[in-house]
Structure formats: C-alpha cells, structure tokens
Amino acid sequence: MSLPCFDSPAGPVAAGLLHPVAIHAELARQLGALLAPGTTLQADQPLAKRTTLRVGGNADLYVEPASEGDLSTVLRFATERQLPVTLLGRGSNLLIRDGGVRGIVICLAQPVFSGIVVEGDRLRCGAGARLKGVAVEARRAGIAGLEFLEGIPGSVGGALRMNAGAMGAWTFHVVESMRFMHRDGRVEELPAAEIPVVYRCCPLLKSCIALGAVLRGRPDSADAVGGRMAAYSAKRWESQPAQPSAGCIFKNPQPIPAGKLIDELGLKGTRVGDAMVSDIHGNFIVNLGGASAGDVLKLIEIVRDRARTVRGIDLETEVEILGED
Ligand code: EPU
C-alpha cells in the first residue's frame, strides 16, 4: 500500500514501525480534529455491507461529511497527504476487491446532501438522494419523464457519475443542470448542455464530485406517472434477479445486448464459489451468499474469454471495479 504522508517524516511511520491499522487510526485522529462532530469518520470500515453485491474489503478511512465545508476539508486533507479519494453512492454498481480501498472513501449519505425539492416541473436533488425517492416525489407532484429512475437502486450522485439508465432512458436525458465540487473545494454549477456524457459515463465526475442536480420532467397526472412506474417495476421483476448483484456487469456491445449474448453462450448458472451468472438475466452476476470479489472477478474473466473466443466480442465491464486484491 502507499503510505500516508505524516507530519514528521522521521516518525514511526517512516521507520515502518506502525501496522496499517494504527496508521489509519492516526490518520482518522488527525482528520477528525478538522471536522465538525456531525461528520461520520471511521477507520478500517468494511465496505461489503455498503454495496449491493456484498463483497469486498475495508476502506482505510470512511467519511460521511455533515456539510460541503467538511467535504472540502476532507478533500484538502487528502491532497496534502496524497491519499486517494473514492466516492461511494449506494454501492449498486460497484465491485470492491477483497483487499479493500486505500485512502479515503467518501459517502454523501447525510441529510444535507439528500434533499429533493419540487419546483414546478423540476426537482432539485442532492447527490445523496435515492433515485427511488426522486421517482416517488415526481409521481406525487405529477411530473412525467423520471419514471425510469424508479428501479435503479442508486443515488442521484451515482446516477450522474454513471449516466445510469433503464427502460431506454439515460440520467442526462432529464438533467437540466449539475452542481459539483472540484478537488480543490471550488463549487460550480453547469447546464447539462455544457457537460459531455456518453453511454454509462460522465467523464467530468471522474475528477469532480457531484453535489446535486436539477432534473426536469413535464406535467402529467400522478395516476399516469404511477401507471408507468408500475409497468416498469413489473418488467424489471420478471426480467432481473432479486438476489444481491451489482446490476448489469457488462456494457452492451454494439452487435447484441450482453445479457442475450451470455444467454446464447449457455453461460447462465455458471458458478465460481458463490458467484453465479444469474439464470434469470445473463448480464447479472449474483452473490448466492458467500461469494468473494475474487470469485466474481474470475467469473467475469470466464464470460469475457468465452465471448471473445466463440463470438469475437470484447465485453467491457460496466460495474466500477475498485480497490486492491
Ligand atoms: N435477453 C436475453 N437473455 C437474457 C437477458 C436478456 O435473451 O438473459 C434479451 C432480452 O430478451 C432483450 C435483450 O436481451 O431482448 C435486452 O435485455 P433487457 O431488456 O433486459 O435489457 P438489457 O440491455 O440487458 C438494459 C440495461 C439495464 C436496465 C435494462 C432495463 C445495460 C447494460 N443494461 O439491460 O441496466 O435495467 O436495460 O431497461 O445497458 C444496469 O445498468 O446495471 C442495468 C441493469
């Protein structure tokens, strides 16, 4: 692991005398002294329970800032100590390796980042707001166009970062503007037209942190919106597995949807340990209970190998793979 940079380079860390757990505790003590009491800060936090796939190791430091001020303090601290920073949403599109994530993992889960405010046919949403909550608010307010968010088990921040999609729609189809923080703590808001996005990625958010977005729909009756949400939900329940997963593992390649390809290759039900290619949808790997990240990664390679050798198709992972083995 890369050693955090301490105040005194000649101290016990530089001498290699401290165990990583003690280093993380000391880093937490130093960072904690700069933060408000409402900010959650933990050393060596298990991350598996914070992801929908339920695999992976610990975060060296885990922080839930209580304000934008504390978020920028954490970023400054990380820059000064040369610690990597990782943003965690609701962990629904993540595969965290078994060795865990070095540096600081930040999650905008506190209420200050999770608001949803209706303004006419717009919703001003914090990055920590749940997508399901956004869809429910839109239905209550009679705003159409956001129904597809109903079944994506993520946060607004994660959906912006991944340009998440379902039912033929993308997150950025409904984004009017986005507020975000640069690594130096500067906050900026840009109209969606000035933010480049592609299928399943908003590259700007590889270096900046989404704070929230204004989503725009169009007026409709709450009943009509609710009807469409119910239809989407039914379609998802019949075509996607209910077991723990990270959603779709691969991006859809040009010639054929990944799920259909994996199905045609006869790979449904293939297992490595407790990781299994879903027998309901070929592009999902489910955790039957005791899977490790290593199991999932091996299974991904088996599927990619088969797709390449049998059909000449290179499957690219859609899930974010983070951390160390
Ligand atoms: N199909 C099969 N066998 C399978 C799975 C799918 O033949 O095992 C066929 C389906 O019958 C359909 C086609 O493949 O004809 C496409 O399947 P589906 O409608 O399920 O859509 P998808 O392209 O596999 C996409 C998104 C999902 C999103 C669904 C529903 C990607 C990679 N996936 O799946 O998003 O929920 O549409 O709108 O774009 C995610 O991003 O994590 C995700 C789950």
Q: What is the DSSP string of 11-72?
A: STTTTT-S-HHHHHHHHHHHHHTTS-TTSEEEEEEE-GGGSSS----EEEEEEE-SSHHHHH
- Ligand 1 atom closest to Cα of 248? 42
Question: What is the Å distance from ligand 1's center to 135 Cα?
Answer: 21
Examine the domain organization and report whether 92 and 14 are in the same domain. yes
Which tops the pLDDT comparison, 136 or 10?
A: 136
Pocket-testing residue among 228, 229, 239, 249, ligand 1, by greatest number of atoms within 8 A of Cβ: 239
Q: Which of 177, 195, 223 is the C-terminal boundary of a domain?
A: 223
166 lines ligand 1 (CB under 6 A): yes
CA 16 to ligand 1 centroid distance, Å: 50
Q: How far apart are CA 287 and CA 295, in angstroms?
A: 10
Mean per-residue pLDDT of the chain: 94
| Tens-digit pLDDT profile for residues 177-235 | 999 999 999 999 999 999 999 999 999 999 999 999 999 999 999 999 999 999 999 99
Query: Is the Cβ atom of 247 under 6 angstroms away from ligand 1?
Result: yes
Question: Does residue 1 have a pLDDT over 60?
Answer: no
Q: What's 124's domain CATH number?
A: 3.30.465.10
Q: Is ligand 1 within 6 A of the CB of residue 320? A: no
Other CB atoms within 10 A of residue 266 CB: 11
Structure tokens at 280: 């309901």
**Whether pLDDT at 122 is above 50:** yes
Instruction: Please check whether residue 324 lies inside any domain of the structure.
Output: no
Token pair in block for residue 318: 């859609």
Q: Quick check: 281 and 315 in contact, CB under 8 A?
A: no
| Assigned domain for 234 exists | no
Distance 258 CA to ligand 1 centre (A): 8
pTM metric for this prediction:
0.92
**For 135-153, what is each residue's pLDDT tens digit?**
999 999 999 999 999 999 9
Residue 229 lies in a domain: no
Percent of the chain with pLDDT over 90: 93
The reply to whether ligand 1 has any atom less than 6 angstroms from the CB of 263 is yes
Nearest CA to ligand 1 atom 37: 166
The Cα 70–Cα 39 span in angstroms is: 8
The domain in which residue 266 lies consists of 241-319
Provide the domain count of the chain.
3
Higher pLDDT, 66 or 3: 66
What is the predicted pLDDT for the residue at 19? 81
Cα of 118 vs centre of ligand 1, distance in Å, is 31
**Closest atom of ligand 1 to CA, residue 93:** 42
**Would you place residue 16 in the very low, low, confident or very high pLDDT band (cuts 50, 70, 90)?**
low
Domain end marker among 162, 196, 223? 223
